[in-house]
Amino acid sequence: MIDIIVIGAGIIGSTVFYELTKQVKNVHLFEKNKESGLEVTGHNSAIVHSGIDPHSNTLKAKYNLMGQAMYEEYAKELETPFKRVGALVVAKDFEECKHLDMLEERAKERHVHVVRYSNQEALSIEPNLNPNIVSVLDMPTTAIVDPTHLSSQAIKKGIINGGEAHFEETIVSIEPTLQYFEVQTNKGVYQARIVVNCAGLYADKMEALVGEATFNLRYRKGEYIVLSPQAPPVADRIIYPVPSPLGKGVLYVPTISGKALVGPNAVDVNDFIERPILDDSVNDMKDKMNQLLSNIPYELEIDRFVGFRPRVDNDDFVIHEHPSVPYFFTLAGIESPGIASAPAIARDITNTMILPGLKSRLLEHK
């Protein structure tokens, strides 16, 4: 009998697996792909946000702030790169400055260090900013990581701790019984006391295998332009526009690998099938970026990619035990700031939900 099955080797499942293996030996991770981090975790901006963006009293705010505080140490523990490059939110006009005022206020409430700069001050630290911008908010704690590397390191270390990882093994059915779950994959049948569903874009389908689905996922696509590592950097920091209701907007992002990203856009879609990225949407992103930052060497574009954000109606993370199927835990709707939040979510739910659940399951059937 397996103690805990974790479904999905994205950054969420991998870090949950790692945290669990620190305290329980008999933990198994199942991933349908041949490697970790090939889905949402491998297709995003890879930013450890400062924590001032999510609305107050949300799981996104709670875990982003906790994650930001613990990330540097966590990255050391996992031997994965972490770089505190900082970020600027750029206001193009006086109306947008009101949003910077609000973010500044929120940063104060959340004890996040930020600095407000005028146009002149901002241009002196990032000379390629568009000279017409009005003001910026500097968020020096913002960092970048490589979420795919982080996930594979978490799994490696989880295996060293005694856990087991199964790749190219897809969960196809889960039958709850009184004492355990009977979990069927494309390769075999397993019995587990606890199941933790971290299936990303498929998390609603996994929950529906055991009982009534408590949420439906929707998808928001985000496309990117990738610039060669040979492209001269046009900014040292991440450059954000003032966010809109659709999200953080089109950014300029230096990455750990030395490539720079321009993107993502945000388009609600009915599925997560990858389609070619059209020049029209690339041109639209370039137009948006040009309002913030000049001299981007688009001729050194080497790639384009798309990521899909799994979303739920209230725009927050879903982290719960199924209301009518005890011991089945779901972590879903983990869109941004999921990378920034992952270590905090993993550590917190391990200690407050999953391990107490395992203890109670073992006591019930002593």
Binding positions for ligand FAD, rule: CB under 6 A: 7-13, 30-33, 38-41, 43-47, 49, 170-171, 198-202, 222, 264, 307-309, 334-340
- Nearest approach, Cβ of 101 to ligand FAD (angstroms)? 24
Q: Give the shortest CB-255-to-ligand FAD separation in angstroms.
A: 10
> How far apart, in whole angstroms, are the C-alpha atoms of residue 182 and residue 191?
5
Q: Which backbone phi and psi does 95 adopt, to 5 degrees? A: -60, -45
Tell me, what DSSP letter sits at residue 308? E
CB of 334 to ligand FAD, least distance (A): 4
Report the alpha-carbon angle 127-130-133, nearest 5: 110
As measured in angstroms, the least distance from the Cβ of 47 to ligand FAD is: 3
Q: Which is nearer to ligand FAD, 41 or 153 (CB)?
A: 41
Q: What is the CB-side half-sphere exposure of residue 3 using CA atoms within 13 A?
A: 19
Which DSSP helix (H) or strand (E) runs through 102?
helix 94-109
By beta-carbon proximity to ligand FAD, the closer residue of 135 and 196 is 196
Q: Which is nearer to ligand FAD, 28 or 32 (CB)?
A: 32
Residue whose token pair is 């874009």: 201
Q: Which of 43, 49, 166, 322 is catalytic?
A: 49
Known catalytic membership, residue 49: yes
Contacts of 220 (CB under 8 A, 6+ apart): 246, 247, 266, 267, 268, 269, 308, 309, 311, 335
Cβ(93)–Cβ(114) below 8 Å: no
9 vs 135, which CB is nearer to ligand FAD? 9
Nearest distance from C-beta of residue 225 to ligand FAD, angstroms: 13
Distance, CA of 278 to CA of 135 (rounded, Å): 32
Pick between residue 135 and residue 224 the one whose CB is nearest to ligand FAD.
224
Q: State the DSSP H helix or E strand holding residue 97, giving kind and residue range, or none if neither.
A: helix 94-109
Q: Which two tokens stand for residue 170?
A: 């897809």
Strands of the chain, DSSP E:
2-7, 27-30, 47-48, 82-83, 87-91, 115-118, 135-139, 143-145, 164-166, 171-176, 181-185, 189-197, 218-227, 238-241, 251-254, 260-263, 267-269, 301-311, 318-321, 328-332
Residue number, 180 or 202, with CB nearest to ligand FAD: 202
Least distance between ligand FAD and beta carbon 240 (Å) = 10
Contact 221, 295 (CB under 8 A): no
Q: So which residues are the catalytic ones?
A: 49
